[in-house]
Amino acid sequence: PQVSPDNRFIFFTSNKSGSNQVWRMNADGTAQMQLTRNEGGYPCAVSPDGNWVFYRSGLRSTLWKVSSEGGPEVEVSDRNMTRPAISPDGTHVAYFSYKNKKWTIAVTNLAEGKQTAAFDYADGKSTAVKIAWSPDSRTLLYVSNVDMKNTLWRLALDSGKTEFVADLGGDLIDDFSLAPDGNGFAFIRGKWLHDVVLIKGLK
């Protein structure tokens, strides 16, 4: 779920209308309203002015947007994007791109829909985990997983230089988020637990 900048609305995905579509509700859960009806998908950000909801297509992994009041669904970019993250100033999107059997981190200008930069991602040895932007929209923080070890890195867009931030352990990283001031972060990690169940008497 994504929260609007004024904290009035929550945007989320639901399939209660028959397919995964983007919905809006008040912060208290009331007045639920379906925003998308065609492509649908999963919301990943709200524009700084609160007028647009960006979402990733569940069918083609391309980036779309729709008015927070509902209306036509607009394709922002036809590029295949994995784990897209919109910059706080609403001008760019960073995402994982898979080419030549290698993951990279790419950045695309939202106004033009053109890729403006691409960076190596853990030497192509890690699968896509998560990207987040710094509050000033000048730096990316990302998690990589290499040899069952999760690490957090900082990437300066101007110079392309990376800096080690923290060791996040060996458990699966499901999500992480920066503090509003950019000085701290929280993350979710854990393990899959599997049980074997014996069922008798089947006919």
SS (H, E, C) the chain: CEECCCCCEEEEEECCCCCCEEEEEECCCCCCEECCCCCCEEEEEECCCCCEEEEEECCCCCEEEEECCCCCCEEEECCCCEEEEECCCCCEEEEEEEECCEEEEEEEECCCCEEEEEEECHHHCCCCCEEEECCCCCEEEEEEEECCEEEEEEEECCCCCEEEEEEEECCEEEEEEECCCCCCEEEEEECCCCCCCCCCCCC
Distance separating alpha carbons of residues 82 and 44, to the nearest angstrom: 11
pTM of the model: 0.86
Q: What is the pLDDT of residue 101?
A: 85
Q: What is the pLDDT of residue 45?
A: 93
Q: How confident is the model at residue 6 (pLDDT cuts 50, 70, 90)?
A: very high
> Token pair of 99, please?
């080419």
Calculate the average pLDDT of the chain: 93
In tens, the pLDDT along 82-119 reads 999 999 999 999 999 988 888 999 999 998 888 999 99
Residue with token string 């890690």: 126
In tens, the pLDDT along 45-94 reads 999 999 999 999 988 899 999 999 999 999 999 999 999 999 999 999 99
Rounded to a whole number, what is the largest CA-CA distance in the chain?
66
In tens, the pLDDT along 110-164 reads 988 889 999 999 887 888 899 999 999 999 999 999 988 999 999 999 999 999 9
In tens, the pLDDT along 16-44 reads 999 999 999 999 999 999 999 998 999 99
Distance separating alpha carbons of residues 66 and 71, to the nearest angstrom: 6
Q: What is the pLDDT of residue 58?
A: 85
Q: What is the pLDDT of residue 144?
A: 93
High-pLDDT (> 70) share of the chain, %: 100
